[in-house]
Structures are given as C-alpha cells and as structure tokens.
Amino acid sequence: MKKIVKVVTIAVAIALVLIAIKNEYARFLMQDASYGMPAVIAEDREYRDNADDQGVTLFIGSSMFRQGLDIYSLEERLDGRNYILSYNGNDPALEYLELEYLIDNDVRIAHLYMDMYTGSMIKSPWVSDDLIFLQTDTEFKLKVWNNIKADAGFSDFWEMFVSSGNDLLLSWPVYNTVASSVFYRGGNISQTASVNGEFQENVANDNNTYVASPYENLEPGDGFNDEQISYIRKIIKLCRDNEIEITFIETPKYISYGISREYMEMIYKFALILEEENTQYYLSGTSKASIPTDAKLPHLKGTVEFDNSKADYYIDPIHLSPSGRTLYTQELAEILN
C-alpha cells in the first residue's frame, strides 16, 4: 500500500511540475512563429539597437481584424513595422491585459489601433480563444482568471491551466509549420475562406433598405457591460501613461447587419465613450451615415468608404473575404498614412 501511495505521489508531483513548466515556458516555443505575442516580443528585441526604428504599429483586435486587415497592404502603404494581434472574441478586458503584457515585456509601440468590436461590449469578460494561454506566462493567466472567475467553474480553471494547448504541444512541429504558413506578421494571408452557408442563403433575401434610426436619450455605453467599458478607459489610460498614440477602427459589416437598429445604436454608444475619453477613431461610411447629423463628434477622424453591399466581400455578416479584406485595407491604409 505504501508503495502505491509513493508511486501516486511521485506521479502527481511530476504532473504538477509539467503543468507549471507548460504554463510558464510554452510561450518560448512561439517566438519564431508568424503570429502571437511571443513573436511580437521577440521581434522587437531584435530592433532595439536600430536607432531608426520607432517601434511597431500594432493592431489589436478580434477575428474582425484577422479577417478584415490585409497585412501586405498595411506594409505597402504604412511606414515602419506593422503587426496584427488578434484572438477570437477578443474583448476589452483581455485586450487590456495583452497590451499590459507587451508593455511589461518592453515592446515599443509607435501607434496602437484597436478594434471597435461592439459584440464584445455587451458580455462579461471571457476568453474565447485558448491559444492565448500557450503564448503567455503564469502571471498573465492568473490575471485572466481573476477577470473571469465570477462566471467560471472548475472545468474552466482546469482548461486554462491544465488541458488547454496540450494537443498543440504534442503535435507542435506540424501545427506550427501549418499555422505559420497562413499567417504573416499576425495577418491572415490565406486566399481561401469558407463562406457561412446561412449567410449565403440570407443574402438573396436581404433588401438592404436603410432605415433611419433615432438616438433619443442615449448615454455613453448605455446597455454595455460595465467592466468592458472600464477596460476601454483603462486601455486608453495605459496608452497615455506610456505615450502610445491610440486610435480605434470599426471594420465594415455586411450592409444588412450594419444598418440594423441594434448595431447602429451600439456603434454610436461606442463612439460616445471614445468622445468622453477624447480618443480618435474611424467609422465605416454606413455607420457614419446612421449617426444624427447634429451629433458632435470632434474625435471622429474620418470614415473608410467600402462597398459593404457586395456579398462577395464577406464570408459572414461581420467577417470579410480575402478579396474584401484586401480592398478594405487598401482604403484604410490610404487614410491612416
């Protein structure tokens, strides 16, 4: 019996050590990847002795940035280094921690562009893309857990610290080779994309009729999650404290989605928060047209005109297709340059 207990104790101890090693050191496997925070950190270290380098122009966002921004077009039209850092469902609470993590690792950021993803503003902090757990240290994960623990259970804790990424680690040489082949500096460079079947079916039924939406008694952030609002403000403050210029960008949504009353109200609420914080932002032409003409938006830098009525430019209502991504980014980069 004592022998069994000893064997079990040793096995548990070994497992705990392996878990600790994974949580702290797996991130170093990704330093040479073509995506993710470890790659951003590793690259910036290589440029520190370059007197002409002003830091990286960083785009932090959700899958809207991954699918909506063409890294080649950004590099062609914008000066300096550009990098897209995107995770599925990325919300302000997580984006704040990502930015803080990069700053703590001495990444020099010349300009930060943030995703105006309205869907992330109406939910409590959460993590939808567990790949981020392979890219960060234990301290980062503990901060994430502190954000989500009120709505999480033991299974979520287990996934975050024990099971997440194990399959990728076991197949790492193959996985990393395949993943790196479809990314470049964090941008999706694949020219193929699966179109959502329901989206295709609904396109034929869309009449794309614009319906003006009144904005009566709207307060900044009305209906948004309070924690997410606070993290938008924290992101802006963190940038100011570190002398990082920050700008928010709304990627274009397919017209029937973009002109829905719910979306138009949410993007306007988002804009009002940024106005309160004296922070610049860009809207799509459709969203700008939906805002009351007498609205005072001094920090609206401009609009990015893009034909969001063409279904071929989308794979679903909120994500651009490869062709849409290229055309949109070319228009965006001309304005940002």
Report the CATH fold assignment for 27-129+182-336.
Answer: Rossmann fold (3.40.50)
Q: What are the tens digits of pLDDT across the range 3-12?
A: 777 777 787 7
Is the separation of the CB atoms in 252 and 258 below 8 Å?
A: yes
Cα 262 to Cα 153: distance, rounded to the nearest angstrom: 31
Confidence of residue 85 (pLDDT cuts 50, 70, 90): very high
Q: What is the mean pLDDT of residues 171-181?
A: 88
Q: Are strands 56-61 and 81-86 parallel, antiparallel or unpaired?
A: parallel
Look up the pTM and report it. 0.91
Query: What are the backbone angles phi and psi of residue 112, rounded to the nearest 5°?
Result: -110, 125
Is the separation of the CB atoms in 232 and 185 below 8 Å?
A: no
Q: What ranges do the domains of the chain cover?
A: 27-129+182-336
125 HSE (CA, 13 A, CB side): 21
210 pLDDT higher than 70: no
* pLDDT at residue 206, rounded to an integer: 60
251 pLDDT higher than 90: yes
Is the separation of the CB atoms in 59 and 87 below 8 Å?
A: no
The H-or-E segment that residue 323 falls in is helix 322-336
Q: Tokens in use for 178?
A: 């395949």
* pLDDT at residue 200, rounded to an integer: 65
Total number of residues shown for the chain: 337
213 pLDDT higher than 80: no
* pLDDT at residue 212, rounded to an integer: 40
Average pLDDT in the chain: 89
Cβ atoms within 10 Å, residue 313: 20
Confidence of residue 334 (pLDDT cuts 50, 70, 90): very high
196 pLDDT higher than 80: no
Q: What are the tens digits of pLDDT across the range 97-150?
A: 999 999 999 999 999 999 999 999 999 999 999 999 999 999 999 999 999 999
Q: Tokens in use for 224?
A: 């948004």
Cβ atoms within 10 Å, residue 199: 19
Is the separation of the CB atoms in 199 and 312 below 8 Å?
A: no
